[in-house]
Amino acid sequence: MTPCPRTYEVRTYGCQMNVHDSERLSGLLEAAGYRRPGADEVADVVVFNTCAVRENADNRLYGNLGHLAPVKAERPGMQIAVGGCLAQKDRAEITRRAPWVDVVFGTHNIGSLPALLDRARVQQQAQVEIAESLEVFPSTLPTRRESAYAAWVSISVGCNNTCTFCIVPSLRGTEKDRRPDDVLAEIRALVDEGVSEICLLGQNVNSYGVEFGDRMAFGRLLRTCGEVEGLRRVRFTSPHPRDFTDDVIAAMAETPNVMPSLHMPLQSGSDAVLRRMRRSYRKDRYLAIIERVLSAIPDAAITTDIIVGFPGETDDDFVQTLDVVRRARFASAFTFQYSVRAGTPAAEMAGQVPKPVVQERYERLVALQDDVSWAGNRAQVGRRVELLVAEGEGRKDGATHRLSGRARDNRLVHFRAPDGGQVRPGDLVEVEVTYAAPHHLVSDAPVLAVRATRSGDAWQERTNPHDPASQPAVALGMPTMPAPA
C-alpha cells in the first residue's frame, strides 16, 4: 500500500523577494513528493519564510511558533522549519528559544530544505544549516507559482548598498547578477506556460549588470523584454535613485509592454536624514528623476517607501518629507515607522526619536498621502483603462457582483462582472472608471471589451483542468479588444 504523501504549508513574511523564495520552497517540496493540505487538514510540515527588516519580525515569528507548539505535541511526525532573513540572522538562537523547531536554514541555501527535513526526521534532532554565500541561484530551483498569469523573475540577489537602517546586505550578501540570456530564457519559458505579466526582481534592479561590467544592462534588458512575443506586461522592483539613469527612462517610455508604473523608494525628503541613512542621493536629485519620468511617460503612476522617525529626524526634516510628498504626487506610498534593528549602524545612532513623536508624524504623513492618492485617483474618473483580471472570487456590493483587476499603471480597479458569461483571471478587459477612492478605483459601467488570453486559459486549466465545457470570455457577446500593436 502506497503511503500518503506528506503535506506542507509555507507561511511568508516580508518583501517580494521572500514571496519569490516561497514559490521556490513550495516547488522544492512538491518535487520531493509533498503536497498541499486540504481545507480541513493540518500540514505535516510548516515552513516559516521570515523577514528581519522590522522590529516586530522576531515577536511575530516566536508568537506563531508558540501557537504551533501544542499542535505539534499532539501530532507525532509534524515538522517545523524556519528560513529567510531572520533565520540567517538568528541561526541557532531560534532552536534555543523554540526547541520544537526541526530545521533552520538561511537565505543562501533554500535548496537544502527537503534534505534537512529528511535528516531531522531520521536523526530525531534539529538541523541548523546556514550558508555564508549563495550556493544556487534561486531561479534554477523548482517552483510552484501562486499565479497562472503573473510571475516574478529574479535578475539579481543581494545588495551592494550600505544603508544605515537596513540589515538586508548582511543577510543576503553582495549583489549577484544573472546573465541576460538566462533571464530571458526563463521569461520565454514562463510565457510559453501562459504567463502574460512578469516583474523583474532585485534588491536594486537598476544596478543590474555591475557584476559583469555592463552599467547599461538593465535598460537593455527592458528593451529585450519588449521583443518577447506574448509578453504583455513588464514591471520591476525596486530601483535605487542613485543608479536611476536616463537610458532606463527611455527604455520604459519606448517599450510598449513595460508598464507606466514605477516604485522608487524615497525614505526621507530631508537631505540631512538621507545623509545619515547613507542613501547617496538628495531630495533635488530624486525629484528631478520623477520630473524626467513624467516628461517621458505622462501617465506614469509613481509609488514609494518612506520611513518616519529615523534617528535625529527633526520637525524641519519631517516637514521636508511632507514637501516632497506634495511635489511628487505619489500614487501611493508604503509608510513605515522607524524601528531599531540590531546589527545596523542606525541602531547605535544618537537622537532616537520618541515613540509618541514618531506616531504623530506618521499619522500626518498617512493623512497627506491619502489626500494625494485620492486626488490622483479622482483624475482617473471617466478614463477608459485596460485591466488584467486578478484572481479571487470578487465581491458583492448590494446586487452588483464585482471582479478586480490591475490597470497598466498598477492601480487596483473593481469592476462590474459582465452578465451572461465568464471573465477569467488572466484575461484582459477594458472599462470606464466611474468612481475613485483613496486606494482603489471602481467601474460601475458595463465592461467595454474583453480579450480572452492564453493566461486565462492557463488559469482555467490549473483551476478546472477537466471541464472542457468552460467557455472562454469572448463568448460574452461583447466587443473583443484589438490586438496590441
CATH at residue 99: 3.40.50.12160
pLDDT, tens digit, for every residue of 253-291? 999 999 999 999 999 999 999 999 999 999 999 999 999
What does the block give as the cell for 131?
A: 550558508
pLDDT, tens digit, for every residue of 204-228? 999 999 889 998 999 999 999 999 9
- In whole angstroms, what separates CA 12 from the centre of its chain? 11
Is there a single domain that holds both residue 341 and residue 388? no
* Span 57-76, average pLDDT: 90
Cis peptide bond N-terminal to 238, omega within 30: yes
| pLDDT score, position 180 | 95
Q: Give the H/E segment covering residue 454.
A: helix 454-463
Is 468 domain-assigned? yes
Is there a single domain that holds both residue 174 and residue 318? yes
Is there a single domain that holds both residue 258 and residue 404? no
Is there a single domain that holds both residue 404 and residue 374? no
Is there a single domain that holds both residue 245 and residue 315? yes
Work out the percent of the chain whose per-residue pLDDT is above 70: 92
Which of 76, 102, 129 is where one domain is finished? Answer: 129
pTM, two decimal places = 0.88
Is 162 domain-assigned? yes
Compute the CA torsion angle 398, 401, 404, 405 (nearest 10 deg). Answer: -130
Is there a single domain that holds both residue 217 and residue 340? yes
How many independent structural domains does the chain possess? 3
- What is the extent of the structural domain holding 289? 144-378
| pLDDT score, position 395 | 65
DSSP character string of 385-408: EEEEEPSS--EEETTEEEEEEEET
Which of 357, 378, 399 is where one domain is finished? Answer: 378
Which of 380, 284, 356, 277 is CA-nearest to residue 327?
A: 284
Q: Mean pLDDT over all residues of the chain?
A: 90
Which of 378, 403, 425 is where one domain is finished? Answer: 378
Is there a single domain that holds both residue 75 and residue 166? no
* Span 30-51, average pLDDT: 93
What does the block give as the cell for 8?
A: 506542507
| pLDDT score, position 240 | 94
Is there a single domain that holds both residue 361 and residue 422? no
- 194 forms beta bridges with none
Is there a single domain that holds both residue 367 and residue 397? no
Instruction: Please say whether the beta carbons of 101 and 80 come within 8 A.
Output: yes
Whether residue 130 is predicted with pLDDT greater than 80 in this model: the reply is yes
Whether residue 474 is predicted with pLDDT greater than 70 in this model: the reply is no
Is there a single domain that holds both residue 274 and residue 334? yes
Whether residue 465 is predicted with pLDDT greater than 80 in this model: the reply is no
**3-class secondary-structure state, position 302:** strand
